[in-house]
């Protein structure tokens, strides 16, 4: 639920809270002014939380949710939007009912939480806190800023190996408990496609043929907006994984491969071939505006995360999607971005037993059921959770991710955040302005990558 936060945060400053009473969790806007106050208060709250930990609990094992009853555990939450906030409250209530332990929730503005994570973890973090799988999680683990939750994993069931490896740090131990995820795919309106007789493209050539046809029909084939810098990363990711495969993506994100490698240049040059089919002038358009183009039947399709459907709530039954088509038959089309949200434990929780008990419960079926019931726009990580209440889109998304061989987190979650935000966003925007000089662009990225990854 983190992805579009820069946009949400941006909008949060623009729209008065009273105006924004929609139910969409990404566009529901929190008064950003409250963020500072929430931040200031969090440290204090964290400091006084968990003080009731009894001496007898210290001996309770990780699995001892039965042993560690009563008392209190602190929970740092970035769920500042309306629906996620409800989810967290429902989870806290559920844990209280199950164990008798009170969960003290410290909510911070989503974006503020993310930007202050370094200070937060080095200060007095809450026992359990919200975070994402990916590079940053492993980075905190290797720096000793996150707690080992391998013991919790011994009691978790219903997670595929994919989720487990996404929760594992560089040292082979687990540091993360997944809760939800969403896939990136190409979304379109069924009515438009039926009317014009379009079929889902299976290869790049078919995609190009389809796009050419859409142009003839007066549509912008691929909706596109990159004003905030991150949405185009999704296009880069999927092209890279289709052309060079998942492992190359991971190696590239870790800078084990140079950015001026011909394989990277091929990603950009393939993208350049597709750019004429994208909506023109993406750099002044937000993803919401691009989604509106699909919603208003002015654009044919849109590659984005499942959250795009929040802009189409009026016609949700008319929305369908497909995974990005194959480019190289030896690589296939079985990798995709599907960022995972979940929970982590502080390196030195005030109450380790209760923190573990909470994490065990959060990874379990009951918490998943609460999540599924309260937030219909995301997918539950635990496969044992009853998902009969899923919408058609949710079901199809779950199938898509379930059939994927490899799941990436997203460019800015799979690599260093300093590299993603200060190098890749400007670089991709430069590319979109001038797609011709791919070689110069890759050289420039590599030059900057070297200084960042060696520091």
Partner 1 sequence: MTVGGSDLPVVNPATVAKAPAGGSHKGAPRGGRVRRLTGNDRIVVFAMVIVPLFLTMVFVVLPAIASVVLSFASWDGIGGVSNIKWIGFENYKNIATNYPPFWPAIRHNVLWLVVLFFIATPLGMFFAVILDKNIRFSRFYQTPIYLPVVLSLALIGFIWQLQYSRDFGLINAILQFLGLQEPDEAIDWFGDPNIAIWAALAASAWRHAGYIMLLYLAGLKGVDPSLREAASVDGANEVKTFFSIVFPVLRPINIIVVVITVIESLRAFDLVWIINKGRNGLELISALVTSNVTGEASRIGFGSALATIMLAISLIFITIYLATIFKEEEQ
Contacts of 86 (CB under 8 A, 6+ apart): 374, 375
CB of 186 to partner 1, least distance (A): 20
CB of 125 to partner 1, least distance (A): 13
> What distance in Å separates the CA atoms of residue 165 and residue 178, rounded to the nearest whole number?
11
CB of 136 to partner 1, least distance (A): 7
Which C-beta is closer to partner 1: that of 293 or that of 385?
Answer: 293
Q: Which stretch binds partner 1 (CB under 8 A): 67-75, 227-235, 247-255, 317-325?
A: 227-235
* Cβ neighbours around 320 below 10 Å, total: 17
> What distance in Å separates the CA atoms of residue 345 and residue 10, rounded to the nearest whole number?
29
Which C-beta is closer to partner 1: that of 131 or that of 248?
Answer: 131
Which C-beta is closer to partner 1: that of 285 or that of 350?
Answer: 285
For residue 417, how many C-alpha atoms fall within 13 Å in the half-sphere facing its CB? 14
Which C-beta is closer to partner 1: that of 188 or that of 230?
Answer: 230
By the rule CB under 8 A, 421 interacts with partner 1: yes
Choose, by CB under 8 A, the member of 57, 126, 127, 228 that binds partner 1.
228
Which C-beta is closer to partner 1: that of 351 or that of 412?
Answer: 412
Alpha-helix residue ranges (DSSP H) falling in 375-424: 392-403, 411-414, 417-419
Q: Which stretch binds partner 1 (CB under 8 A): 255-263, 318-326, 391-399, 423-431?
A: 423-431
CB 190 within 8 A of CB 320: yes
Convert residues 1-40 into a mask of x (bound to partner 1 by CB under 8 A) and - (unbound).
-----x---x--xxx----------------x--------
By the rule CB under 8 A, 275 interacts with partner 1: no
Of the candidates 117, 106, 103, which has an alpha carbon nearest to the alpha carbon of residue 351? Answer: 103
| Cα end-to-end span (Å), the chain | 31
Pairing label, strands 177-181, 340-345: antiparallel
Of the candidates 351, 357, 352, which has an alpha carbon nearest to the alpha carbon of residue 50? Answer: 351
Strands (E), 108-175: 128-132
CB of 436 to partner 1, least distance (A): 16
By the rule CB under 8 A, 292 interacts with partner 1: yes
Choose, by CB under 8 A, the member of 151, 251, 289, 366 that binds partner 1.
289
> What distance in Å separates the CA atoms of residue 104 and residue 74, rounded to the nearest whole number?
5
Choose, by CB under 8 A, the member of 8, 60, 73, 117 that binds partner 1.
117
Q: Which stretch binds partner 1 (CB under 8 A): 203-211, 369-377, 380-388, 441-449?
A: 441-449
Contacts of 67 (CB under 8 A, 6+ apart): 57, 60, 61, 353
Choose, by CB under 8 A, the member of 25, 26, 85, 136 that binds partner 1.
136
Size of the site for partner 1 (CB under 8 A): 43
Strands (E), 60-175: 72-77, 102-107, 128-132
Instruction: Give the binding site for partner 1 (CB under 8 A).
Output: 6, 10, 13-15, 32, 114-115, 117-119, 122, 136, 143, 145, 227-229, 280-285, 289, 292-293, 417-418, 421-422, 425-427, 429-430, 433, 444, 447-448, 451-452, 455
């Amino acid at each position: 639920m983190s992805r579009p936060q820069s946009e949400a945060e941006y909008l949060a400053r623009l729209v008065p809270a009273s105006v924004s009473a929609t139910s969409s969790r990404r566009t529901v806007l929190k008064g950003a002014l409250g963020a500072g106050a929430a931040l200031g208060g969090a440290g204090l709250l964290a400091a006084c939380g968990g003080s009731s930990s009894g001496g007898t609990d210290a001996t309770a094992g990780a699995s001892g949710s039965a042993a560690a009853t009563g008392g209190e555990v602190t929970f740092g939450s970035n769920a500042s939007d309306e629906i996620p906030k409800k989810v967290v409250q429902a989870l806290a209530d559920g844990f209280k009912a199950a164990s008798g332990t009170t969960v003290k929730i410290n909510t911070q503005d989503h974006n503020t939480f993310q930007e202050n994570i370094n200070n937060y973890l080095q200060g007095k973090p809450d026992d359990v806190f919200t975070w994402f799988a990916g590079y940053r999680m492993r980075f905190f683990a290797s720096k000793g800023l996150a707690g080992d939750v391998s013991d919790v994993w011994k009691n978790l069931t219903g997670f595929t190996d994919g989720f487990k490896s996404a929760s594992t740090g560089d040292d082979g131990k687990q540091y993360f408990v997944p809760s939800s995820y969403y896939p990136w795919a190409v979304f379109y309106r069924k009515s438009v496609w039926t009317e014009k007789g379009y079929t889902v493209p299976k290869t790049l050539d078919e995609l190009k043929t389809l796009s050419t046809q859409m142009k003839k029909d007066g549509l912008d084939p691929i909706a596109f907006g990159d004003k905030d810098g991150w949405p185009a990363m999704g296009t880069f990711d999927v092209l890279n994984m289709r052309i060079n495969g998942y492992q190359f993506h991971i190696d590239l994100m870790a800078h084990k491969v140079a950015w001026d490698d011909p394989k990277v240049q091929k990603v950009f040059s393939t993208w350049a071939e597709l750019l004429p089919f994208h909506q023109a002038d993406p750099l002044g358009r937000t993803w919401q505006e691009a989604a509106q183009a699909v919603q208003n039947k002015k654009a044919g399709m849109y590659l984005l995360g499942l959250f795009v459907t929040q802009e189409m709530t009026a016609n949700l039954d008319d929305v369908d999607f497909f995974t990005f088509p194959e480019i190289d038959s030896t690589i296939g089309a079985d990798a995709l971005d599907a960022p995972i949200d979940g929970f982590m434990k502080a390196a030195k929780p005030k109450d380790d037993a209760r923190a573990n008990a909470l994490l065990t419960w959060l990874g379990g079926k009951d918490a998943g059921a609460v999540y599924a019931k309260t937030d219909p726009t995301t997918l539950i990580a635990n496969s044992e959770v009853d998902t009969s209440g899923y919408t058609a889109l949710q079901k199809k998304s779950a199938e898509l991710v379930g059939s994927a061989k490899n799941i990436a987190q997203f460019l800015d979650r799979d690599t260093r955040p300093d590299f993603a935000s200060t190098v890749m966003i400007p670089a991709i925007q430069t590319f979109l302005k001038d797609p011709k000089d791919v070689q110069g662009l890759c050289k420039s990225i590599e030059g900057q990558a070297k200084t960042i990854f060696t520091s």
